[in-house]
Structure 1
Amino acid sequence: MLSGGVAGLLVVLGVVALGGDVYAPLGDSDPGALTSYGFAVVRFVATGAGVVCGGAVAFAAFVVPSPGTDGLSADAYASVRLAGVAGLLWTLGALLAVPFSAADISGQPVGKVLAGGLLDSVDAVEEAKAWLIVAAIAAVVTGLCWCALRWRTVVAAFALTMVGLLAPVVAGHAAVGAWHDVMTNALVWHVPSASVWVGALVALLAQYRRGGSVDGAVLRRYDRLVLVCAAVVGLSGAVAGLTGARPENLGSTAYGVLLVAHAGVFAVLVVVLLFVRRRRGSSGVSRLRLLLAEAVLLGVSLGASLGLTHLVLPSFLTDPPTVHETILGYDLDAAPALLDLVAGWRFDLVLGTVAVLATAAYLAGVRSLRRRGDHWPVGRAVAWCAGWVAVLVVTSSGLGKYAPGAFSLHMVAHMTLNMLAPVLLVLGGPVTLALRVLPASGRLGPAGPREWLVALMHSRFARLLAHPAVAAPMFVGSFYVLYFSGLFGQAMQYHWGHQLMNVHFLISGYLFYWLVIGVDRPPRPLPHLVRLGMLFAVMPFHAFFGVIVMNTQTVIGETFYRYLSVPWLDDLLADQRLGGGIAWATGEIPMVIVVVALLVQWSRADEREARRKDRAGDDEFEAYNAMLADLAARRR
């Protein structure tokens, strides 16, 4: 393990030493060797510790077999404590990365930044702010790891760790220049998968070292996890690397050469190590040696990845970005025709990929049920697929591409993600399908995906989100907070901000409609009358929102739209009024569908209750007749 870390650190330092001047091409001055090398070391230590922390909690939660989800086995607890130690180092490294990143990016010595006012420097550098957020998240994760005694706490720590690892990535060098939207989306998949792979390997080696149980079940789960992570890391890394370097710059720039070398290390890692490991057995000294070699190669790979963040993207130099490309990642100079909105696709690697995978997994579950002779309603499958098709269209088609340029098109995407797609998705009943498809581990068997899903659905966090007092305000109140507080204009300036808005729209809508018309049973089932009351309580707020937007005399997010300045949109206020009208009109149609669906469900529930009472009455009548017959027989 230590040799892998040392190898990775040497790679990072070698890139800094041989990478040449990376500051002059960006118009910055050289901050000095202390800042350059210091930031490289601090970033490697902080990122490596975060990776080990995230992978160790993933290993404890999903690899080490536990008898249930209420507690942790001894090996899982040891992995969580390893994550706690790594989390403490991650916190300290992230705090040190704040002044070093501010100095490195602004081209000033770190001592000058510390002496001249750290807060001002951090406020001017987005990546420094990201490292400050990382430090806060790492501190929380460390606390969770040191006090974790339940499986749900470990999962919460894992989720927070993934967020912390992504923060400096989405605000770093990948978020600048043309096609930065594609590169950032690819790294959203790449970083968590790589961290789980590396950290899980460290946790497995630590389990070997302390003499823990490394049986076939642990190795099989680890192998499955690594294969999935390797596939995601390879695909996402190729997309991100080629987007940043461009194929023509692979052999002529330091970034391209390092990227090719990194790909070679990854190929050796996947083709040789994984293949040989599966051929030579799952235990013994040979397996341990292969794991140690894998650790060294992964350390080198991590060092190469962080070395790439030090170098200047070749695409930024060979293809200087326009204003539109700087903000969005692509140009919006041409006015959108109907054909452009329909055929001008730009695939969203985050929500688009989720839509494809969710649809494929659902259909695979339905097929599995039918193979064993069980029935699943066709309408649910149609609703689920239609919901994800709606998500795919508004995020990846020409509509999704042009939505940031015009408030009216943005509102079409917003209302689809918040009002239409969630209605269809909750009618699909994905949790019910998963519980019918996934096998149960049994009372004595280790917890598996089915037990994990049940535990998450009954967790305090799920019960909090599914509470009407939380779901309803989050669903409708976010409209007013986002658009009337200035938050919308700030978020639209960053690709990650736009993506978070889309994710929030989808999740908040899903939670609300899950309570109202969802097929899956929520943690606190509500009577149909309460559901109808929730719906009628929310409906006016949507109408009011559209009316307020139509009558607002100031442009929402004006700074963003003025800076973007698309040539085909002259009157921002008129476009905003159109967007308000779209919000008002399109918000009512899904509500009518929901009311109809709710009334139908209510009627069917009443019919089932009436049939149950009839059966109970028949049983009581038969019991009464039997009693009379018995009394008559005794008299005779």
Structure 2
Amino acid sequence: MTSKYRDSKLLYVLFAVVAGVVGAVISWVFLGESLAALGIPDPGPLTTAGLPFLRSAGLMVAALAVGSFMSAAFFIKPQTNDLRTTSLSADGSVAAKTGAISSLVFAVIAQLMVPMYLSDVSGSPLLNTINPAEWPRALELVSTSLAWQVTAAFAFVTGIGALTTYRWIMQPVWLVGALLSVIPLGMEGHSATGGDHDYGTNSYLWHLVFMMLWVGGLMALIAHGRRKGPDLDVSVRRYSHVALVSVVVMAVSGLINTSIRMHWTDLLTTGYGLLILSKTIGVIVLGLFGFVHRQLTIPQLGTKPGAFSRIAIVEVLFMGAITGVAISLGRTPPPPPRNVDLNTMDIELGYKLYQEPTIWNVWTMWRFDILFGAAAIIFAAAYLWAVYRVHKNGEKWPLVNTFWFLLGCLVLLLTVCSGIGLNMPATFSMHMVGHMILSMGVPIGWVLGGPVTLFLKALKPSPDFPGPREWLEVAVDNPWLRVLMNPALNTIQFVVFFYILYITPLYEIMIDEHAGHVIMNVVFLWSGSLYYWDLIGIDKTPVKHSPMSKLGWLTFSMPFHLFFGVYLMMNSIILGEEFYSNLGLPWNVDLLHDQMVGGGISWGSGQFPLLIVWAYLIWEWFVDDRRTTAVQEANVQEVKDDLDLYNAQLGAFQKGKNPHDDYYGATFDR
């Protein structure tokens, strides 16, 4: 007899409540110590217990949204294999709806956290700060409240959007939206303050994102199994890869985050350290759960699917408890910093600078960038793996393509980890050096490496159940990208961003927070890659444009780049003056002169790669024109030959002779 469909709503609530209760109880234990450290009065139980409860429960709800969208996009088979047009299956639609509702619930929780954090830092009762009239004050004075407000906006837009369509192609978009909803929370807290906060924030971002994938993915799998969804074995197998990577990333990032904030002896001598230790042990236990899954339950999915769900439910409950422990860390006074010699540079940048950067000494300063440096290594490793797979399949891949892509990764690694990356947040001129390299140097190497073409060769098609190759195909050929790759829009996004960033107050806002530097670097890389992919990339674009069209748009954009550099050199208003003046650099900086230098760098280094690309397009136009001419001449010659033959036949008929007589006569003679 077939077992009936089982709903998972009560399980979702149980997971969130367990996380919330653990977070609230542990935070309550350290309440007195926390209030004494902060020097504020007790805001009342609604805040002191409610804040950690809702934050812990909220993260579980956010993880459910992430896992549900991930499941709908990559773990559950859609109705057809044409991912550009297909809708979700019935099971996938339920998963997507769960993700949408979870996002909206998380948005409500995030909005409530805005007045809660104002209550928390001011000691005012929540009933006072929950008045909407107080919220502007919370957003202005409390950075954590602002982070939760941004989170609420992302979660709300994602939830509403996901309810409007159940087409497959939108599920990866909602997955990105759900992940973006938690990113602001990774930019605040203990990791984002004090010395080494660049390491702390970047490692916590890795930790938080992969926690969402790990925890949320397992919750979605449990629901998929309880709904008796098809292909559970495929879903579990795909999730197991995500879980393995998540465990490794969370372990490494957690180790980095702990090592920069405390001495190892603090693990056993402070309450904060004991919580860290408890969380670490919990992650190890969860790793054992995963081992049990691989060894016992996954091989028996076909005969005993219920065993997987039972162990997975216990696992998620344990995950919820660990989430509560992790959230209580934010409510527990950390031990004294390892380095008490902190100055303004430590607070604003996360590290100290000791000498003025020059063209030579930037190569003697090194500090590994956990976010972008790690990304450069991962991209290079993935590319080399794909090259290996292509050669293993008996095909060839041009060595020059490999050279270009690895060069782009190397340039990224050197830029963010050398003195260039160290000084990018400290002076405008070095910021502009980094900007030009990230938006014009790294992308050129990447697009000339043809990574999409390479991976399409390396990945095998999955005709029965769409897999990585099919996902990549639709990622680089879809209606959204077709719009973005329109020459006019692509040129505008690349050129106009310069003006929006530096002419509006946006630059002052960005440089004041580590999150701003991260966002700018991501946009530089993304904008440049999109722009140069269309101009000179060897990967096929969604819409093919002629070299003449590309050359025209590039020529159109060049004066705007030129004018932008001149504008910066002539601008008498110092960008980011307050931020740069307060850094306390150990050398004298003439901010106006430094800005003029930055404008010159923008003018010179911006025009140089564009001129190279312009020359490349001229050559491509010349080659394309010769190719077209050759084809036309061949066509003309073919028409001429046909016409000569026709005229010869016509002449033979006019002489009263069948032109085929020679042929038939020769045949009869034989």
Scaled by the length of structure 1, the TM-score of the pair is 0.94
Instruction: Map Cα deviations across residues 172-218 of structure 1 (whole Å, 9 max, x no partner).
Output: 33211111111111122111211111111111111222222253212
Task: Give the share of equivalent positions with the same residue, in percent.
Answer: 31
Query: Which one-letter code corresponds to 2:493 in the other structure?
Result: M
Residues 98-153 of structure 1: CA deviation (Å, up to 9, x unaligned): 11122113332222323572321232111111211222221222122222321121
- Residue 300, structure 1, aligned to residue 321, structure 2: yes
Q: Does 2:579 align with 1:585? A: no
Q: Who is 2:111 aligned against?
A: 95
SS at match of 2:425: helix
Which amino acid in structure 1 is aligned with residue 416 of structure 2?
T
Look up the match of 1:549.
568
Going from structure 1 to structure 2, the CA distance change for 1:565 and 1:320 (only over 3 Å counts) comes to closer
Name which of structure 1's ranges 179-188 and 605-614 shifts more when overlaid on structure 2: 605-614
More deviation in 178-187 or 10-19?
Answer: 10-19
Is residue 2:503 matched to residue 1:484? yes
Equivalents in 2 of 1:211, 1:340: separation in Å?
62
CA distance in 1, matches of 2:365, 2:43: 44
- Larger displacement relative to structure 2 (178-187 or 31-40): 31-40
Q: SS at the partner of 1:520?
A: coil
Output the amino acid matched with 1:62: F
Of 16, 36, 48, 2:27 maps to: 16
- State the match for 2:434 in structure 1: 413
- Alpha carbons of structure 1 residues 419 and 123: separation in structure 2 relative to 1, 3 Å: same
Structure 1 match to 2:417: 396
Please give the secondary structure, in 2, of the residue aligned with 1:380.
helix
User: Does the alignment pair 1:198 with 2:215?
Assistant: yes
Q: 1:73 maps to what in 2?
A: 89
What letter matches 1:39 in structure 2? L
Map 1:280-299 to 2 at 5 A. Answer: 280-282=296-298, 283=301, 284=304, 285-299=306-320
Separation (CA, whole Å) in 2 of partners of 1:244 and 1:89: 33
1:456 matched to 2:483: no
Structure 2 residue corresponding to 1:509, chosen from 521, 528, 531: 528
User: Which amino acid letter does the alignment assign opposite residue 70 of structure 2?
Assistant: A
CA contact (8 A) 2:495 2:560 kept: yes
Deviates more, 1:364-373 or 1:508-517: 364-373
* Alpha-carbon spacing, 1:564–1:618, altered in 2? closer, same or farther (3 Å): same
Residue type at the aligned position of 2:198:
D
2:188 aligned with 1:171? yes
CA–CA separation in structure 2 for the residues paired with 1:629 and 1:365: 58
- Structure 2 partner of 1:158: 175
Where does residue 535 of structure 1 map in the other structure?
Answer: 554
Change (3 A) 1:373 1:36: same
Q: Which residue of 2 aligns with 1:228?
A: 245
603-612 or 206-215, larger mean C-alpha shift: 603-612
In the alignment, is residue 38 of structure 1 matched against residue 50 of structure 2?
yes
For 1:38-437, what aligned pairs fall within 5 Å after superposition?
Answer: 38-66=50-78, 67-68=80-81, 69=83, 70-114=86-130, 117-270=134-287, 272-282=288-298, 283=301, 284=304, 285-316=306-337, 319=340, 321-336=342-357, 340-437=361-458
The whole-number CA distance in structure 2 between the counterparts of 1:199 and 1:88 is 16
Q: How far is the alpha carbon of 1:614 from its aligned partner?
A: 6.3
Which amino acid is 1:503 matched to? V
Deviation of 1:52 (Å): 0.6
CA-to-partner distance for each residue in 1:434-488, whole Å, 9 max, x for gaps?
Answer: 222211122xx11111111121222222122212222212212222221122221
1:59 aligned partner, one-letter code: S
Instruction: Give the match's secondary structure for 1:250.
Output: helix
Structure 1 distance, partners of 2:336, 2:422, is 21
Deviation at 1:168, TM superposition (A): 2.1
Q: Which range moved further: 313-322 or 207-216?
A: 313-322
Q: Output the CA distance in 1 between the equivalents of 2:538 and 2:592.
A: 41
Shift of 1:531: 0.7
Q: How many residues align?
A: 633
CA-CA distance at 1:336 after TM superposition: 4.0
Alignment partners' CA distance in 2, 1:246 and 1:64 = 45
**Taking structure 2 as the reference length, what is the TM-score of the superposition?**
0.89
1:428 & 1:540 partners in 2: Cα distance?
A: 28
Alpha-carbon spacing, 1:530–1:107, altered in 2? closer, same or farther (3 Å): same
Moved more, 513-522 or 233-242: 233-242
> Which residue identity does 1:327 align to in structure 2?
E
- Offset at residue 256 of structure 1 (A): 1.1
Helix, strand or coil at the partner of 2:163: helix
User: Which residue in the other structure is 1:633 paired with?
Assistant: 660
Cα distance change on mapping 1:110 and 1:604 into 2, 3 Å: same
Is contact 1:99-1:122 (8 Å) kept?
A: no
Q: Distance in 1 between matches of 2:311 and 2:631?
A: 62
Structure 2 counterpart SS, 1:247: coil
Per the TM alignment, residue 612 of structure 1 is displaced from its structure 2 partner at its CA by: 4.9
In the aligned structure 2, how far is the partner of 1:572 from the partner of 1:137?
36
Deviation for aligned residue 1:34: 2.2
Q: Is the 8 A contact 2:25 2:49 kept in 1?
A: no
Structure 2 distance, partners of 1:632, 1:255, is 101
5+ residue gaps in structure 1?
A: none
Contact 1:65 1:217 in 2 (8 A): no
Distance, in Å, in 2 between the alignment partners of 1:51 and 1:510 is 30
Does structure 2 retain, via aligned residues, the 8 Å contact 1:246–1:315? no
Structure-2 separation of matches of 1:613 and 1:314: 78
2:3 is aligned to none
Worse-matched range after superposition: 72-81 or 305-314: 305-314
Asked which structure has the greater CA Rg, the reply is 2
SS at match of 1:471: helix
CA 1:280–1:563 in 2, change beyond 3 Å: closer, same or farther? same
Identify if the C-alpha distance between structure 1 residues 278 and 616 changes in structure 2 by more than 3 Å, giving closer, same or farther: farther
Task: Determine the structure 2 residue equivalent to 1:602.
Answer: 621
SS of equivalent residue, structure 2 residue 562: helix
